[in-house]
Amino acid sequence: MSSPSTGTERPLEALVGRSIGAELPSELEELLPPLMQDLREIDARLEQVLQATYPQLTQAARYACQGGGKRIRPLLMAVALRALGADSTRSVHSLAAAFQLIHTATLVHDDVIDHAELRRGRASVPRAFGLPVAIVTGDYLFVRAFELAAEYPRGIILRCGEACADLAEGEVLESGARFDLTTGRAHYFRVVERKTAAIVSAALASVAEIGGGGPPAVDAYAEYGRSVGIAFQLRDDVLDLYGDPDLLGKPLFSDLREGNPTLVALEAHAALSGPEKGEFERLFAIRRKQSGDLLRLKELTERAGAPERVGEEARRWAERAVHALTPIPPGPYRSLLEHLARAAVARRF
């Protein structure tokens, strides 16, 4: 397929490696080959769904799905199913592909809303294909996701739908709070619960249901998914200041530029006082920030100790995720879920 891609494709192993982190204990290393195979099969299921005869949409839809990011969602789903004793993850391949498509659809529409130029190190879909194609491609990916979800019992389709509705609500909540530092922590967590945590929680709760884990496993995975989602988002907020833009695939300071009141910004604002607080407010409110503005905001954020405090808070959510796994039978796959929660808050991309 020819595409207006400007980036290079990274192999699946390298991408997934970012979700797993550098320091995987050697006894968990041996779990990776079957999981990589799971992810390849989920990718293949997704490819298959996008092979339909929609010549206008197929190119943009596949472009949007290419690369596919760190695969944290399908990886968590595959590990979670195996932790319940499953020998194969085939029963969740379509659902994992559906959640990947929903995630991708949201990214495409987010990039329209944010006028984002870059995504995963190359032109965003609206940049590469224009706004009309980007909007419709997002819709198309949602439709394909629901077709995949239709393979499952109604309860799972509805859980998936509610998570999508949460996600939409979270996006509107977020877009209404731009450049506004008065929204506060409670509002921040309302957004994150809906925009990031709900979909991971729904995906993992569905895995527990499909895997026959019973209500304790469903609740455990719902809570694990929610906590991992929140931890992940908190780490993302910090990485907006300290990440490696090449690995992130987008420029640093994107949140500051778009005026997102991340927890880092809210904590900094709350901790500063006097003229520094006033300066922070003034700089944060600038619609087209210059490099100097961004660097000064970062400096003030650091003086307030905000990145460290948010980093600690992320680690607390990761431990909460680990704790939520208590009802799951102990074993190497449960250990890997614990590892993945902690890796989410230690990652640098």
Residues of this chain that bind a copy of itself (CB under 8 A): 52, 54-57, 60, 105-106, 109, 112-113, 130-133, 135-140, 142-144, 146-147, 149-151, 154, 157-158, 161-162, 164-165, 168-169, 171-173, 175-176
Smallest CA-to-CA distance from 118 within 20, 322, 257 is with 257
Helix (H, G, I), strand (E, B) or coil at 115: coil
Q: In this complex, which beta carbon is closest to a copy of itself, that of residue 175 or of residue 254? A: 175
Nearer to a copy of itself, 111 or 313 (CB): 111
- Least Å from the CB of residue 330 to a copy of itself: 36
Non-local (6+) Cβ contacts of 125 within 8 A are 60, 63, 64, 108, 111, 119, 133, 134, 137, 138
Q: CA 301 to CA 309: how far, in whole Å? A: 11
Short-list 219, 106, 123, CA closest to 170: 106
Give least dist CB 260 to a copy of itself, A.
13
Distance CA 62, CA 256 (A): 30
Token pair 């982190």: residue: 21
75 or 149: CB nearest a copy of itself: 149
Closer residue to a copy of itself (CB): 142 or 317: 142
State the minimum distance, in angstroms, from the CB of residue 127 to a copy of itself.
16
304 three-state secondary structure: coil
Our CB check for a copy of itself shows the closer of 135 and 252 to be 135
Which one, 94 or 301, has the nearer CB to a copy of itself?
94
How near is the Cβ of 28 to a copy of itself at its closest, in Å? 36
Using CB atoms within 10 A of its CB, is residue 167 exposed (0-12), middle (13-18) or buried (19+)?
buried
Give the nearest distance from C-beta 99 to a copy of itself in angstroms. 14
Q: How far is the CB of 273 from a copy of itself (least distance, A)?
A: 32
Q: Three-class SS of residue 178? A: coil
Burial 81-102 (b: 16+ CB within 10 A, else e): bbbbebeebeebbbbbbbbbbb
Strand partners, 153: none
Nearer of residues 136 and 252 to a copy of itself, judged by Cβ: 136
Report, in Å, the least distance between residue 64 CB and a copy of itself. Answer: 13
